[in-house]
Amino acid sequence: MTNEQVVRPNIMAVLEDRGYRSTNSRRSIVHILEDKGSGFTAEEIGRELPSVGRATIFRTLKLLLEMGVICRLNLPDGPPKYSLSRVEHHHHTVCVVCGNVGEFRAATIERLMRTLSNEIPGDVIGHRIELYITCDLCSKENTN
Amino acid sequence: MTNEQVVRPNIMAVLEDRGYRSTNSRRSIVHILEDKGSGFTAEEIGRELPSVGRATIFRTLKLLLEMGVICRLNLPDGPPKYSLSRVEHHHHTVCVVCGNVGEFRAATIERLMRTLSNEIPGDVIGHRIELYITCDLCSKENTN
DNA sequence: GTTAGTCATGGTACTTAGTATCATTAATAT
DNA sequence: ATATTAATGATACTAAGTACCATGACTAAC
Ligand SMILES: [Zn+2]
Ligand SMILES: [Zn+2]
Ligand SMILES: [Zn+2]
Ligand SMILES: [Zn+2]
């Protein structure tokens, strides 16, 4: 399993490279994302940026999603969580206590998925895996 | 990988065993579920039962979910899909063309997940896996 | 079978996540 | 500096689901 240090792209630069304008709203949203990093909801961002319209929050998240710089996780309950993302294929851990989201890659999973596709009826074209965990921080807090 | 024939419990009996009443609305909802089997949305059921209140549809689905006789899948887009379920731990296939939902079990996955939990920071307490496929029916249709 | 108690229902209003519309404003290119 | 066009915020809307409540349907006791 790899959990290497992520070198994240300059998100605003990526936006501009694709022809999108570097606006105040986008900059402030991206700034918050880079601050939070993982496991935030659209609503949380809106709360921290009352001057930015709700529609713009969602528009921007959608844009970043399309560009692959963030992920959206549809969890079993609660609103979807967004998190900054490395670009390559990966999966997620979600702490069931604090809601923090992590990324991980595991060659073993990908190998197994490739194997499975021979045994599943139909053509497997993708997969999605979430691990539910209690993170180290939350485990510690409980034993104090 | 196992994909064994499912022997499904009598859902109404399960409800009654838990002290819930056998009502007209519940019977008609359960009847439709048993008919459809997999990959239906709450809205679809509502459409087929105009005489049953929307709230009751959701209440009943929630109840069946708690009892473990159906699953809800939060897909990357579109409304959640429900499907009848065997009771044991399993995972899902979703056809990206027709939306049909299937269940499967694979000891290899469970073994791998157990292994991963040694390598992931934090305590792994559960997982969720979805395979996105084009099912045999949909593949055939495309080559015609 | 009737009755009493309670559970469940349907209707309505509300919430939450997200989208459509649109007049106004801000970013870019020249 | 100006013109062009993209982006914005406000508002209204949709879709999935929940809260509330007076009415009606089940069930159990008799
Ligand atoms: Zn991710
Ligand atoms: Zn945690
Ligand atoms: Zn299932
Ligand atoms: Zn299909």
pLDDT in tens, A49-105: 999 999 999 999 999 999 999 999 999 889 999 999 987 899 999 999 988 999 999
Q: What single letter denotes the amino acid at residue A117?
A: S
Distance A115 CA to ligand 4 centre (A): 21
DSSP A4: P
Total Cβ atoms within 10 A of residue B103: 18
Report the alpha-carbon distance of residue A60 to residue A30 in Å, rounded.
9
Domain boundaries, chain B: 11-143
Residue A121 touches partner B, C-beta closer than 8 Å: yes
Report the alpha-carbon distance of residue A71 to residue B7 in Å, rounded.
38
Tens digit of each residue's pLDDT, chain B (144 residues): 544 455 567 999 999 999 999 999 999 999 999 998 888 999 999 999 999 999 999 999 999 999 999 999 999 889 999 999 987 899 999 999 988 899 999 999 999 999 888 889 888 999 999 999 999 999 887 665
Task: State the Cα torsion B102-B85-B72-B35 to the nearest 10°.
Answer: 80
Distances from the Cα of B46 to the Cαs of A76, B14, B23, B32, B105, in angstroms? 22, 23, 17, 10, 31
Degrees, nearest 5: CA angle A78-A80-A85: 140
Bridge-based pairing state of the strands A101-104 and A91-95: antiparallel
Q: Give the CA-to-C1' distance from B102 to C21 in angstroms.
A: 40
| Residue pLDDT, tens place only, A24-42 | 999 999 999 999 888 999 9
Residue A142 touches partner B, C-beta closer than 8 Å: no
From B71's Cα to the closest Cα of chain A, the distance in A is 10
Listed residue (A9, A30, A11, A12) closest to A21, CA to CA: A12
Burial class (CB in 10 A: 0-12, 13-18, 19+), B30: buried
Q: What single letter denotes the amino acid at residue A121?
A: P
Q: Does domain B11-143 have CATH number 1.10.10.10?
A: yes
Listed residue (A135, A39, A26, A138) closest to A85, CA to CA: A39
Q: Provide the phi-psi class of B100: left if phi over 0, else alpha when psi is between -120 and 50, else beta.
A: beta
- Which residue among B95, B108, B132 sits closest to A127, beta carbon to beta carbon? B132
- Which residue among B3, B106, B131 sits closest to A127, beta carbon to beta carbon? B131
